[in-house]
């Protein structure tokens, strides 16, 4: 019971946990990516602003100078060098041949050619910068040694080209602080997701404990109820046995015992008459024989009430037919019984149960209903067998009378018999009569023997 209750819960919690963790990670990664891009975009905008300042400072000289004006070129290089010194080495200048004229972190001219180098990740650096400058300007990201730490870090640069003088003018900024912030944010998000997962696990553990405790309490309660019901059933069985014994004892005392006493008196009288030579000996013997015949009939009636032989020999229909005939003869209540020939036969348990239900119903009608007419129908239908008993009495509410215990027990006995067969019992009572309908499923129908039709 605990496993049946916890396995679906564990599966549901596991599925929810996976979905929550997956969605949280996706959302967090998306938010971090958006934040990273926004910061990088802000840094790029800062680089473009620097280049615009450079362009504005050089425009008065570069715009009016011819391409071969060395004096104007020297003035421009001096302006760039001074700006590079003021901005802590954030500007650089290359010519289109790859010669480094002003380097990052330097305030002097460098005449070395650096065209063609790549960074430690294998990406081109100067060649890509020259390509961007020739095409009108743009951004380029590469690894570069940071002057502050002496270690390589990711840099974003923005360059423009002075096409007449074949110069690359650019600025750059390290984004290692951005990457460090992004890495810290990712670590924090992973920690939050892990805490969420542990919270889900803790809640699941508490829920499992509650399920276990509730299942334990329900189990204890059901056991107690089952014990109470078992004791009540056992007591009812004992009571039923005692009632049946009392009924049989009453039948023996009230009928057979009295008849046998009459037979004994008749035989004693016949003996005295025979000793005295009285001619009425035959009369006394005749009375004794009649009494014995009556005793035999009573024994057969009691035996039939306990277990009719016709039920085993001929089936349910003839057994109920004989029961109705005896009931009508004894009580004078008109009884109309009709049945049909079943294609299959009822098994032993179903026949006994339906016969006892009919017997119990007729007994209740005789004792309590005040009915004058009874109809009984036994027939098969597509789902099994149905026994229907209806009277025109004044209903169960008055039928129980002062004997509520017997009436209630009779209905319980009927219900329990049908329940053991996985059938259904329906009782409908109105002031105009009571209907008792018992249905037995097809599982209690036996296969037909050959092509011969038999009675249920």
Q: Tens of pLDDT along 328-340?
A: 888 888 999 988 7
Summarize pLDDT for 66-77 with one digit per residue, the tens: 888 888 888 888
Residue ranges of alpha helices (H) inside 63-175 are: 70-86, 126-134
Q: Token pair of 126, please?
A: 């100067």
Place of tokens 């009931």: 327
Phi, psi of 417 (to 5 degrees): -65, -45
The confidence band for 375, taking pLDDT boundaries of 50, 70 and 90, is very high
* 455 pLDDT more than 50: no
Beta pairing, strands 167-174 & 91-95:
antiparallel
* 78 pLDDT more than 50: yes
Residue range 1-17: mean pLDDT, rounded:
73
The confidence band for 110, taking pLDDT boundaries of 50, 70 and 90, is very low
Summarize pLDDT for 19-68 with one digit per residue, the tens: 877 787 788 788 888 888 888 888 889 888 888 888 888 888 888 888 88
Q: What is the residue-wise DSSP string for 183-243?
A: HHHHHHHHHHHHHHHHHHHHHHHHHHHHHHHHHHHHHHHHHHHHHHHHHHHHHHHHHHHHH
Count of CB atoms within 10 A of residue 59's CB? Answer: 10
Q: Token pair of 149, please?
A: 């730490």
Q: Where are the domains of the chain?
A: 2-174, 181-281, 313-446
At 59, is the secondary structure helix, strand, or coil?
helix
Geometric angle at alpha carbon 378, from 373 and 384, rounded to 5°: 145
Summarize pLDDT for 397-428 with one digit per residue, the tens: 644 443 444 456 778 888 888 888 888 899 98
- In which element (H, E) is residue 368 found? none
Out of 2.40.50.100, 3.30.565.10, 3.10.20.30, 1.10.10.10, which CATH number does the structure's domain 313-446 have? 3.30.565.10
Summarize pLDDT for 132-187 with one digit per residue, the tens: 888 888 998 888 777 767 777 888 889 998 888 888 988 888 887 777 788 888 78
At 258, is the secondary structure helix, strand, or coil?
helix
* 236 pLDDT more than 80: no
What does pTM read for this prediction? 0.46
In the Cβ-directed half-sphere of 64, how many Cα atoms lie within 13 Å?
Answer: 3
Summarize pLDDT for 91-105 with one digit per residue, the tens: 888 888 888 888 764
Place of tokens 């109820």: 225
Shortest CA distance to 165 belongs to which of 88, 28, 65, 27? 65
Beta pairing, strands 373-381 & 345-346:
unpaired
The confidence band for 373, taking pLDDT boundaries of 50, 70 and 90, is very high
Q: What share of the chain is helix, strand, coil (3-state, %, to 5)?
A: 60, 20, 20
Structure confidence at residue 374 (pLDDT): 92
* 320 pLDDT more than 60: yes
Q: By percentage, how much of the chain surpasses pLDDT 70?
A: 86
Superfamily of domain 2-174: PAS domain (3.30.450.20)
Q: What is the residue-wise DSSP string for 260-325?
A: HHHHHHHHHHHHHHHHHT-TTHHHHHHHHHHHHHHHHHHHHHHHHHH--HHHHHT-HHHHHHHHHH
At 116, is the secondary structure helix, strand, or coil?
coil
Q: With 0-12 CB in 10 A as exposed, 13-18 as middle and 19+ as buried, what is 250?
A: exposed
């Amino acid at each position: 019971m605990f496993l049946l209750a916890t396995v679906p819960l564990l599966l549901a919690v596991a599925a929810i946990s996976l979905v929550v963790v997956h969605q949280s990670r996706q959302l967090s990664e998306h938010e971090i990516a958006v934040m990273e891009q926004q910061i990088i975009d802000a840094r790029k905008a800062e680089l473009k602003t620097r280049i615009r300042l450079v362009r504005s400072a050089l425009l008065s000289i570069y715009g009016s100078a011819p391409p071969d004006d060395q004096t104007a070129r020297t003035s421009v290089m001096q302006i760039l060098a001074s700006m590079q010194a003021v901005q802590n080495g954030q500007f650089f200048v290359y010519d289109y041949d790859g010669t480094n004229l002003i380097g990052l972190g330097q305030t002097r001219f460098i005449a070395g050619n650096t065209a063609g180098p790549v960074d430690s990740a294998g990406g081109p650096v100067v060649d890509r910068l020259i390509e961007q400058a020739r095409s009108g300007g743009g951004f380029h990201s590469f690894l570069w040694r940071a002057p502050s730490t002496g270690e390589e870090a990711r840099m974003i640069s923005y360059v423009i080209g002075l096409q007449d003088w074949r110069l690359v003018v650019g600025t750059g900024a390290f984004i290692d602080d951005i990457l460090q912030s992004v890495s810290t944010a990712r670590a924090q998000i992973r920690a939050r997701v892990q805490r969420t997962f542990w919270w889900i696990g803790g809640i699941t553990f508490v829920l499992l404990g509650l399920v276990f405790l509730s299942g334990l309490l329900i189990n204890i309660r059901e056991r107690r109820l089952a014990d109470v019901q078992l004791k009540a059933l056992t007591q009812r069985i004992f009571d039923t046995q005692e009632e049946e014994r009392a009924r049989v004892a009453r039948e023996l005392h009230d009928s057979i015992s009295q008849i046998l006493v009459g037979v004994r008196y008749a035989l004693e009288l016949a003996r005295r008459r025979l000793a005295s030579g009285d001619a009425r000996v035959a009369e006394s013997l005749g009375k004794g024989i009649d009494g014995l015949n009556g005793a035999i009939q009573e024994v057969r009636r009691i035996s039939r009430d306990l277990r009719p032989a016709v039920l085993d020999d001929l089936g349910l229909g003839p057994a109920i037919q004989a029961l109705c005939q005896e009931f009508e003869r004894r009580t004078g209540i008109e009884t109309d019984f009709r049945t049909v020939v079943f294609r299959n036969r009822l098994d032993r348990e179903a026949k006994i149960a339906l016969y006892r239900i009919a017997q119990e119903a007729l007994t209740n009608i005789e004792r309590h209903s005040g009915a004058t007419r009874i109809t009984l129908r036994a027939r098969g239908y597509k789902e099994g067998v149905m026994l229907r008993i209806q009277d025109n009495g004044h209903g169960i509410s008055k039928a129980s009378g002062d004997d509520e215990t017997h009436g209630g027990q009779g209905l319980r006995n009927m219900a329990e018999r049908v329940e053991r067969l996985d059938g259904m019992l329906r009782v409908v009572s109105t002031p105009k009569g009571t209907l008792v309908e018992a249905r037995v499923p097809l599982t209690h129908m036996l296969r037909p023997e050959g092509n011969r039709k038999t009675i249920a």
